[in-house]
Amino acid sequence: MAIRELLHKSKLPKFAEWLTEQGWTIQAVKGRYEVLRAKKPGRDTLIIWTRLYAKEHYTVPDKWRPLVRQFIREEKSHE
């Protein structure tokens, strides 16, 4: 499954920057619905998608929900 209301579209650049700080490498996206692809040694490839009618949020696979929530918590603590 996937969470469709977790990562707001306005947060994608900051999320990509945060991933880089955590040791992830941002890769080129594949296909028209991928908006972010990242890889970290020893981890599966993280992929975030958009949907055709998505207005505000991207689709985050359940597997990556804890990582995105960690980003959101850390971002809120710096505001």
Would the pLDDT of 64 be above 90?
A: yes
Taking only the tens place, the pLDDT of each residue in 16-46 is: 999 999 999 999 999 999 999 999 999 999 9
**Closest-CA residue to 67 (of 27, 41, 30, 38):** 38
Q: Are 68 and 7 in contact (CB under 8 A)?
A: yes
Would the pLDDT of 53 be above 90?
A: no
pTM, two decimal places: 0.90
Domain 2-77, CATH = 3.30.310
The predicted structure's pLDDT at residue 3:
67
Domain boundaries, the chain: 2-77
